[in-house]
Structure 1
C-alpha cells in the first residue's frame, strides 16, 4: 500500500507545487492539468480556467504529493486548518535540515528542527500556503 498526500489550494496549487519541487526535487508526473481542459466547462471565469485540476509531484517511486485548486463556482471553499501534516523522513540529518529550512521559509515554525527527546531530529511548521509539515530524522547508532 502507498499513501500519497493530496493538497487543496485556492488558486495557488501551481505556485505551491513548483515551490515544493524546488526544495524536494522530483518531477511533475503527467504535467499539470487545468480546469480549462475539461470539456463543457465554458461557463468558468478566466481565473478559474487557470486553476489546477490535478498535479502530481513524483519525488520517488514511493513518494508523490498530489494537489488541485478549489473551484468557487462549484461551491468549493478552502478551509485551512491543522488537520493535516505531511511527514518527511529524510535520509540524513543534513537533508532534513535542508527540507525544513527550505519548506518553512515564509511560514510559521511550530517546533524548530533540533534533537528531540525521542532520539530524532524533528521539526514542524506550517508553510506559507497553510500546509502542515513535519520533518523527522531518526538518528542512527552513534550519531548525535
Structure 2
C-alpha cells in the first residue's frame, strides 16, 4: 500500500504493465521481482472504512480506459509517421544512390571515349609521321 501511495481502503489502483523500469514515464513499481508496472490512477475512499461509490469507480475506470486508448492511438500514430518518414528517407537515399551510380557510369563511359579518341589521334599522328618519314625513301 505504501508503494502505491494508498492510505485508505478499499482502494482501486489501475496499473499498466511495463517491459522494464526504463519504459516508465514516472515512478514505477516492481512486484514481483522482474515485473514492472506503472500506476495509471488511484481511487480510494475519502476516509478509512468508507466505501467507494460504484458510479465513481465506473466513471474512473471508463475515463482511464479512454485515456489509455487515446495514448495508445497517439503512440501508434507516431510509430506510423516515423515508419513513413524512414521509408521516405530510404527511398530518397536509394534514388540518390542510383543517380550517383548512373552519373559515375556516364563519367566512366566519357573517360573511355576520351581515352579511345586520344589513342586514335596518337595512332593517326604516329602513322602520319611514319608515312612522312617513309615517303622520302620512296622518292629516292
The two structures have a TM-score, normalised by structure 2, of: 0.24
- Could you say which structure has the greater relative contact order, defined with CA pairs below 8 angstroms and 6 or more residues apart? 1
TM-score normalised per structure 1: 0.24
Q: Per residue, is there more strand in 1 or in 2?
A: 1
